[in-house]
Structure 1
Amino acid sequence: MAFGADELRVLRRALAGALCPAPLDDEDVQDCLRLADALDEAAREAGRLRAFLLADLDRYRAALPGSAPGYLELLQDALAAGYDPRPEDLAALRSLRARPVAAALLARCAELAERSVLSRLARVAAPAPRTRLLALPGGRAADEPKPRPKPAPKPVERPVPKPSEVFPPRRRPVPPPPPEERVAG
């Protein structure tokens, strides 16, 4: 993503305001909001383009082996753009490994897939602490009252039940009467 001269000026003023907190005038706030909107739109457009390219890659993969040259080219472009190869890509490349380009891509994709799995496992094992985002002074929320956080509820302490409450005593069955009492006369 590239910035124009005007966008860089707005960004520089916003960074200067963040480093030396002082109220921003309305024009600077509006410029920052416009820049944020432009960045959001660029991110949405990049997402749409990525979705289109991934759908194109899926179509070419489904049409293999006839679409091998186009698929290999699209996969190379996607990898250059930061795409993590999927298991379907590895399977498709294994079926095409007789081609030198596919064999080289298979080795590269296998390495990228292994790195991706290891990094996901590392993130799961040790989640990063979340940092708190702070608003710049003079932004939209400068005049709004800040809500007070609610106090955390106190934990409810329950008494530990006795074993006789959890497991009631078993009642022994009453033995049947002796045979001589059962005879009616």
Structure 2
Amino acid sequence: MSLASSASETIAAMKAAQKYLYQCGGPILMLIGTIGCMLNLIVFTQKALRKNPCSIYFIAYNVANFLYIYSSLLALTLSVGYSIDVSIYNLIICRLRLYTVSLFNTLSPFYLILASVDRIFVTSSNALTRQRSTRRFAYLCILIGTLFWALFHSHALIASNIRQLAPNAFLCYFQQGIHLVFVSYYAVIKETSTLLLMIICGL
């Protein structure tokens, strides 16, 4: 009985610590992230820089980061820190939240990889390769890439639901089964490939 009581107290203490961590740390991280994104946007949108293709990629990168902060971290802070989670009561909001989080979580590293590839073009000894570093090519890559990933993650608008984990405990997440397995493997592959591509492009 004492072991069960001790375990319950430990779990309660951990939940309380998690709650206070998000209450205090969440807003601070959001503030720092917002200021960082804004400062970067101010720098890269300067007249002297915005003509540079790499700056265009970094503008898109910071916009994606900004949107990711307020689609993911804000929702997580409200949910865990303040027990405010609208997504568990409304299926449309649930699906939109999962979709935007998945999309911006992918777009952010995608734009960063494009910027790295642009640096490869610029520093290439081949004149034809250097000519690929243009504003038109940058806009085209961003447009096509954004449309592709927006369509690719559209499954979150369909294959997600509000699941009841326990009495008065609900969770907005992907549907169980093959789709959840796909999402899990995709997340691992995405993170691994992003890391490898950044390492390769940085060499």
TM-score range, shorter chain: 0.3 to 0.5
Question: Which of the pair is proportionally richer in strand?
Answer: 2
Q: Between Structure 1 and Structure 2, whose CA radius of gyration is higher?
A: 1
Question: Which of the pair is proportionally richer in helix?
Answer: 2
* TM-score, with length taken from structure 2: 0.32
* TM-score, with length taken from structure 1: 0.34
